[in-house]
């Protein structure tokens, strides 16, 4: 009788312990989730002025991200240097050209389209950090990009590529769209002899699913 009671109470306390452990684990998981914010998806359309520093070589980029129309534009002004236009379409066609008398154009066909608004999904949360006077949540994705987002406004503030190319977001106009006419590549882009084979084939060696896509869309800011 006493034995049976003892056994029963042992079982009970084991169950209780088990339940307690489970509750602890569950609450740990819960708080872990709550403590790890995820990056805010990009607005479907926005215009941004980006300040770029690549080992001391400076440029300003007008970035026009336009997901519904499947296009992305980087207009790159190198400091006291070239003004370059870099259009990327979701069908994988890219145009990289000048609009001055040099009439340069390089067109490529890459295997991926522009970045999806949720391209930062799955990034690893690294905590919070002050950048340029803004308190930011920081993430890293596939050791390719480090991304800093304002904790309060959820706007991107800064990102850095593994190459060291550093981007500072100066303006972020949600909903801004560039006129259709401005997206049209010049006629000399359609001159067959200037079309070079896709540079992307060279990148396949170390490519995983994300890298070529990032390189495609953010090529202007990375110049890969």
Ligand X SMILES: *[C@@H]1O[C@H](CO)[C@@H](O)[C@H](O)[C@H]1NC(C)=O
Q: Of 78-86, 87-95, 144-152, 199-207, which segment contacts ligand X by CB under 6 A?
A: 87-95
Residue 138 three-state SS: strand
In the bound state with ligand X, the residue whose beta carbon lies nearer, of 4 and 187, is 187
Note whether 89 binds ligand X by CB under 6 A: yes
- Of positions 56, 68, 133, 175, contacts ligand X by CB under 6 A: 56
Reduced 3-state DSSP string for 200-218: HHHHHHHCCCCHHHHHHHC
55 or 102: CB nearest ligand X = 55
Sequence-ordered list of residues with C-beta below 8 angstroms from that of 215, at least 6 positions apart, any chain:
200, 203, 222, 224
**How many CB atoms lie under 10 A from the CB of residue 67?**
19
Q: Contact between 186 and ligand X (CB under 6 A)?
A: no
Choose the binding region for ligand X from 1-9, 50-58, 128-136, 146-154 (rule: CB under 6 A).
50-58
What residues form DSSP beta bridges with 89?
Answer: 71
| 77 is a contact residue toward ligand X (CB under 6 A) | no
Phi first, then psi, for residue 21 (nearest 5°) are -60, -45
Binding site for ligand X (CB under 6 A): 53, 55-56, 58, 89, 91, 93
């Amino acid at each position: 009788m006493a034995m049976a009671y003892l056994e029963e109470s042992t079982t009970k306390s084991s169950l209780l312990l088990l339940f307690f452990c489970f509750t602890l684990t569950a609450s740990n998981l819960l708080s872990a989730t709550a403590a790890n914010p995820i990056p805010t998806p990009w607005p479907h359309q926005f215009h941004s002025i980006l300040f770029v520093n690549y080992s001391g070589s400076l440029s300003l980029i007008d970035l026009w991200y336009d997901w519904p129309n499947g296009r992305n534009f980087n207009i790159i002004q190198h400091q006291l240097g070239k003004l370059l236009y870099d259009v990327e379409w979701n069908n994988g066609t890219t145009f990289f050209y000048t609009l001055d008398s040099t009439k340069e154009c390089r067109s490529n066909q890459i295997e991926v389209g522009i970045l999806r608004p949720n391209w930062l999904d799955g990034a690893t949360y690294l905590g919070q950090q002050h950048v340029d006077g803004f308190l930011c949540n920081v993430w890293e994705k596939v050791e390719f990009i480090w991304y800093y987002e304002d904790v309060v406004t959820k706007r991107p503030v800064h990102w850095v590529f593994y190459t060291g190319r550093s981007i500072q977001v100066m303006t972020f106009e949600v909903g801004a769209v560039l006129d259709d006419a401005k997206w049209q590549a010049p006629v000399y882009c359609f001159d067959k002899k200037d079309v070079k084979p896709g540079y992307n084939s060279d990148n396949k060696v170390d490519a995983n699913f994300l890298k070529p896509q990032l390189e495609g869309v953010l090529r202007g800011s990375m110049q890969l």
